[in-house]
Amino acid sequence: MAAVSENLLFAAFLLYLAAVPFFGGAIKGKKKVDGPRRNKAALIGITLTIIGFLSQFGYFISRWMASGHAPVSNLFEFTTAFGMMLVLAFIILYFVYQVSVLGLFTLPIALLIIAYASMFPSDISPLIPSLQSNWLYIHVTTAALGQAILAISFVAGVIFLLKHVDQTKPGKKTFGLELVMFMIVVTLAFIAVTSIFRMTGYEAKFNWVDKNKKESVMVYELPALVGPHKGELVTQDRLEPFVDLPPVFSGRKVNTVLWSFGTGLILYGLIRLIIRKRLSALLQPLVKQVNLDLVDEIGYRAVSIGFPVFALGGLIFAMIWAQIAWTRFWGWDPKEVWALITFLFYAAYLHLRLSRGWHGEKSAWLAVIGFAIIMFNLIFVNLVIAGLHSYA
Amino acid sequence: MKEVKCECGHINPIGTVLCESCGNPIAAKEKNSSKLLDMRYDGSARRSQTYNKTIVDKVWNFFSSVKVGVWLIVITLLASSLGTIFPQERFIPPGASASTYYEEQYGSFGKLYYTLGFHDLYNSWWFLALVASIGISLVICSLDRVIPLYRALKNQGVIKKEGFMRRQRLFSETDKTLDQHTYEGIKKAMKQKRYRVREENGHILAEKGRFSRWGPYVNHIGLIIFLIGSMLRFVPGMYVDETLWVREGETAPIPGTDGQYFLKNNAFSIDRYETGNEKEVFENAIERAGDGQVVKSYKTDATLYKREGEVVFGEKPKLKQVSEHDIKVNEPLKFDQFSLYQVDFKQNELDQMVFQLIRKDTEKSFGTVKINLLEPKSEYDLGSGYKVKVMSYLPDFYFDDDGTPSTKTRNPNNPAFVFEMVSPEKPKGEKSFVAIQETVEGSDNNLYKMKFDRVETKNVTGLTVRKDLTLGVLIVGGIIFMIGVVQGMYWQHRRIWLSAKDGKVFVAGHTNKNWFGLKSDLGVLLSDSGIKQPVDQKELPDTTSISKSKGEGLDGSSQ
Amino acid sequence: MKKHQKKENAIIYLNVYGEGVLQMKKRRFFIRTGILLVMLAALCYTMYNSVFAKQDRVKEGSIAPNFVLQSVDGERIELKDLKGKGVFLNFWGTWCGPCKQEFPYMANQYEVFKDRGVEIVAVNVAESKIAVKNFMESYGVNFPIAMDKDRQVTEAYDITPLPTTFLVNPEGKVIKVIKGTMTERQIYDYMNLIKPKGS
């Protein structure tokens, strides 16, 4: 059963990947692409996407069966589920709006998210006592769904900005948009670097002294650019770090971040050298025929649908479960705070749009920031800021 | 309020922008403009915009502004994030002192963090003031808008002036005389699309989803109730938060229950994940985390007792069993208005310590002494003239700053004794100080010694006692909030005006959100009628919009 | 502007409730002030309660809850029996440094006040008799020590930090709660406070 679920996930990945070029082909056509004369490429694209989603859903169910619990209990499981929800959200919005360009951009993001998730331990693991509750699947899946729907507004926002931002006038806007592109490259770099070293089985053991003055062992899976506090390399023939960090920092994590950004920078630099313009400028022709009103509307709709779902799953269900498991429905732990921040941010988005008329470009930038907050909650809060909620 | 009479005869409250009945622009600003009408709040008089005299008005207007509300949300959001930079005081290791911890761990940034008070950010006066301001803003914003809006929507007339219709975002003008058949056809189509159709003199108002306009106000009420609930916590008697540690075998009074309830810890058990005992599929994960390291489950087999008779503290209570329950994480024991949660535990706390009285030269034992570490006896009679007296006992031994033996706590973490060993040879007794891995004899000539034999341990369970009567209020607030959000976000308020007069047909449309949906509706309703599709007169600032082309179908699905 | 206003003033209608302009202004003022005041009051109440920390169950002005405990020597001590005397009710433990500090002072002052109608009851929080007896010898304790082995009384009095001392007057009411250690002078003053009138 476990093997089945792994294969289904892999199949889903391939299907999403296959769907991308079809969506790309779909937007090339000059004719109107909806109604009875449905664009064939788009049809293939969405079919592949749906089959992929079903496959991933199959992964979800079979993994549930294999482990006996909802597969949302660690970082790998949650992030894959988030990717799945993203695809689901896209499918729903596709049927409402029939916008192929949305698929062209959402699926790669979903692929990136699933690949990113795969960098983390994916062993099927049993539940610790605090997770042994039905609320695990009620709270976490709803929260993931809410966040995924909100994430679609990010995709719509990026599409909007790719078309709208004038690439001939370098400034804050081109920088901001390019920053988004850069972060995507960094994620890609993280995935590439981690995968490559994992394939070679790289491992470097360090003896180090943690912040409680205790001796401990830390295993690196990437060559050590920075070492842990008072680190002593045990494994032979491995890279010696250039500098040791103070004990508050986890050497391994900082090292991974450095590798990701470093490689990302180099990769990005290479890409810039080759294409001779900004990545956003490279992508701009893809969105040439996009109706800005429509994309703006989709972005807004995603928030208006996703906001209640997120409030329900990420806050209300969370509070109910926290009261049952942790004696208190709210404890200001970092995960809870960042969920609140996400909620407040999108509340501000809605007020600014509905009462202050912030349509179009302003909305798009807000959607980008909102996604950054969601990603911060997923990555930084889980991995760096420890707490009751930290998974990794 | 002073009223203003519109041309159509309807009397509007002062400050009204558009006549409640016929939509005619009354306010000077709108009257002299030709731009699209500002349809926010349906042109009703937002009360706070109208008055600005006294200080009360100024405060009121401040909190009524959405701009201020958004700022409050944004500042709260930013402030909240500051509290996650370093762990809050409540999360630092137990025993650590905030005044030194932050500086020690995080250097000068940590010191700054502490000095600014950010280590307890969410209880700080200014953060609470922010939240309070949001609460006030919620109340005032809503009151200020909902009342005029309700009036406006209730009083709206079917017949709207041509000027009103021309300046709607969706508008079309067709030179055509509408025959009865087509007219009825349109009405029928509207009703099929579940619009409420009102007619007057050849004018139609088709409306649907008005209830969704109240969504935001409902969700605000939900939030207000939630905030009230969170304030209620401080009313005496509403909230109890206590800790209860109970050893196995012990029956302890439950704090916070006024001596009414007692809990007996029958047994505390804990299981860990081991590769042999679990599903094969978990093996990798268990090995990676450490075989036997990860906790599988832990629970307290507990019995709940209620005290019978009058409560006199300190007296041995007469107890009646109420229930038996396995207290686990996610399964608290609930009784009366209380809940007992499994939060913590201490495994293998020392319970009994066993010594042998040994004659040093022969290594012969003259008796066993089993000492209850919670209540040692002062004398243990071993018979035949052998006695062990406990002269001094320190359950958690250490040397204090003056070098005096003292005890850190009252828990037997590190027991130490001064024994007096009485034997027939030494009837006056020999002294010996005995601690874990440390024996100091009273004199060099001691004949006897106390030899450590073994310990017996017990587990201690850590429970939280909770009473929270505010939960009901919070739940109600949460439900109302969700209803309001769904009500407001998942439906829209759509209105279509149609007037057929003097050889012209005017069609105008308005919605509070989802213009594409409305355009799609109009597309269907006006198909085959010969009436031009309303054009979207609103341009997105600095964007090119294909939807500008006149006369083309504007269904929401263009690419 | 003025001319326009004058013209408008000329067409004054009464609103649906039959109120004129001035009455309307007043009404609006009162409603708004009322709403603001209610919210302010609620906030102040909450702030006051939360800032003035834990709502201690036994505080100044409360009747001291009755209790029955055994002394180290097995004698029965009941608070009710001490009515008519001022009771210096002290909660302590042998591990508590500040408690050790004040015990000698308490012993001294007890000598002075015990004939003046002041009684000390020092409640030990859940320790063993041996530990307490040793302590009494080392610190020259001459006043009654009550053993609260199962912590019923400690819970009833909602004790958090040690030492905590309750000053109970001859009528059984708590007139002061002192958290933390006391100087000898303070102990003298406190005992003076609770001694029965006329002694």
Distance in angstroms (rounded) separating the CA atoms of residues B170 and B534 = 5
In a domain, C131, yes or no: yes
Taking only the tens place, the pLDDT of each residue in B510-548 is 998 888 889 999 999 988 888 888 888 875 443 333 333
Q: Hey, are the CB atoms on A67 and B282 less than 8 Å from each other?
A: yes
Chain mean pLDDT for chain B: 87
Average pLDDT on B215-232 reads: 95
Q: Tell me what pLDDT residue A192 has.
A: 94
Q: Tell me what pLDDT residue C174 has.
A: 92
pLDDT at B340 over 90: yes
Does residue B113 share a domain with residue B98?
yes
Q: Hey, are the CB atoms on B485 and A311 less than 8 Å from each other?
A: yes
pLDDT tier, B55 (very low <50, low <70, confident <90, very high otherwise): confident
Q: Tell me what pLDDT residue C18 has.
A: 58
In a domain, C62, yes or no: no
Number of domains in chain B: 4
pLDDT at B217 over 70: yes
In a domain, B402, yes or no: yes
CA distance B239 to chain C (A): 10
B and A touch with 3+ CB pairs <8 Å, answer: yes
Does residue B437 share a domain with residue B359?
yes
Does residue B376 share a domain with residue B307?
no
In a domain, C135, yes or no: yes
Taking only the tens place, the pLDDT of each residue in B114-152 is 999 999 999 888 998 999 999 999 999 999 999 889 988
Contacts of C21 in chain B (CB under 8 A): 2
pLDDT at C4 over 70: no
Does residue C173 share a domain with residue C88?
yes
Distance in angstroms (rounded) separating the CA atoms of residues C125 and C107 = 19
Does residue B379 share a domain with residue B336?
no
Contacts of B393 in chain C (CB under 8 A): 128, 130-131, 134
Does residue C171 share a domain with residue C84?
yes
Residue B88 in contact with residue B122, Cβ under 8 Å?
Answer: yes
Q: How many CB atoms lie within 10 A of CB B510?
A: 20
Average pLDDT on B379-385 reads: 90
pLDDT at B326 over 50: yes
pLDDT at B551 over 50: no
> Which of B67, B106, B289 comes nearest A248 by C-beta?
B106
pLDDT tier, B554 (very low <50, low <70, confident <90, very high otherwise): very low
What is the ipTM for the molecules in this complex?
0.92
Which of A5, A97, A344 should be substituted to probe chain B, the one whose Cβ sees the most B Cβ atoms within 10 Å?
Answer: A344
Distance in angstroms (rounded) separating the CA atoms of residues B154 and B146 = 12
Does residue C160 share a domain with residue C84?
yes
Contacts of B231 in chain C (CB under 8 A): 42-43, 45-46
Does residue B312 share a domain with residue B286?
yes
Number of domains in chain C: 2
Taking only the tens place, the pLDDT of each residue in C61-106 is 889 999 999 999 889 999 999 999 999 999 999 998 888 888 889 9
Q: Tell me what pLDDT residue C16 has.
A: 56
In a domain, C101, yes or no: yes
Contacts of C46 in chain B (CB under 8 A): 231, 234
pLDDT tier, B464 (very low <50, low <70, confident <90, very high otherwise): very high
Q: Where are the domains of chain A?
A: 2-167+277-383, 168-276
HEC profile for C12-75? CCCCCCCCCHHHHHHHHHHHHHHHHHHHHHHHHHHHHHHHCCCCCCCCCCCECCCEEEEECCCC
pLDDT tier, B477 (very low <50, low <70, confident <90, very high otherwise): very high
Contact of B258 with chain C, judged by CB distance below 8 Å, is answered with: yes
Contacts of B123 in chain C (CB under 8 A): 50
Task: Say which residue, C47 or B478, is predicted with more confidence.
Answer: B478
Place of tokens 């912590």: C151
CA distance B389 to chain C (A): 11
Strand, coil or helix: A207: strand
Question: Which CATH number covers residue B516?
Answer: 3.30.310
Does residue B169 share a domain with residue B146?
no
Q: Tell me what pLDDT residue B2 has.
A: 55
Q: Hey, are the CB atoms on A387 and B81 less than 8 Å from each other?
A: no
pLDDT tier, B47 (very low <50, low <70, confident <90, very high otherwise): low
Q: Hey, are the CB atoms on A337 and B83 less than 8 Å from each other?
A: yes
C33: closest chain B residue by CA: B56
CA distance A55 to chain B (A): 21
Chain mean pLDDT for chain C: 84
Residues of chain A with pLDDT under 70: 29-38, 386-392
Per-residue tokens: B199:
């007619």
CB pairs under 8 A between A and B: 184
Gyration radius from chain A CA atoms: 22
The answer to which of A22-31, B329-338, B413-422 has the lowest mean pLDDT is A22-31
pLDDT at B549 over 80: no
Does residue C73 share a domain with residue C43?
no
pLDDT at B552 over 60: no
A28: closest chain B residue by CA: B559
Q: Tell me what pLDDT residue B201 has.
A: 86
Question: Which CATH number covers residue C189?
Answer: 3.40.30.10
DSSP run (H or E) holding B394: strand B386-394
Does residue C92 share a domain with residue C166?
yes
Does residue B140 share a domain with residue B84?
yes
pLDDT at B3 over 80: no
Residue A374 in contact with residue A83, Cβ under 8 Å?
Answer: no
Helix ranges, B156-305 (H): 162-166, 180-192, 215-232, 283-289
Per-residue tokens: B288:
């990676």
pLDDT at B553 over 50: no
Taking only the tens place, the pLDDT of each residue in C101-122 is 888 899 999 998 888 889 999 9
Contact of B391 with chain C, judged by CB distance below 8 Å, is answered with: yes
Which of C32, C79, C121 should be substituted to probe chain B, the one whose Cβ sees the most B Cβ atoms within 10 Å?
Answer: C32
In a domain, C77, yes or no: yes
pLDDT tier, B237 (very low <50, low <70, confident <90, very high otherwise): confident
Does residue B183 share a domain with residue B271?
no
B246 burial type by CB count under 10 A (0-12 exposed, 13-18 middle, 19+ buried): buried
Distance in angstroms (rounded) separating the CA atoms of residues B114 and B94 = 17
Q: Hey, are the CB atoms on A1 and B557 less than 8 Å from each other?
A: no
Domain span holding position B107:
46-154
Domain span holding position C24:
2-51
Does residue B83 share a domain with residue B58?
yes
A219 burial type by CB count under 10 A (0-12 exposed, 13-18 middle, 19+ buried): exposed
Q: Tell me what pLDDT residue C15 has.
A: 57
Taking only the tens place, the pLDDT of each residue in A132-152 is 999 999 999 999 999 999 999
Does residue C43 share a domain with residue C74?
no
Does residue C180 share a domain with residue C144?
yes
Does residue C36 share a domain with residue C73?
no
The answer to which of B140-154, C45-59, C109-123, C163-177 has the lowest mean pLDDT is C45-59
Does residue C45 share a domain with residue C72?
no
Does residue C172 share a domain with residue C83?
yes
Does residue C180 share a domain with residue C153?
yes
CA C163 to chain centre: 14
Taking only the tens place, the pLDDT of each residue in B480-500 is 999 999 999 999 999 999 998
Average pLDDT on B147-176 reads: 88
Average pLDDT on B149-174 reads: 88
In a domain, C199, yes or no: no
Q: How many CB atoms lie within 10 A of CB B11?
A: 16
Last residue of one domain, picked from the residues B134, B154, B174 = B154
Residue B160 in contact with residue B495, Cβ under 8 Å?
Answer: no
Contacts of A304 in chain B (CB under 8 A): 489-490, 513
In a domain, C114, yes or no: yes
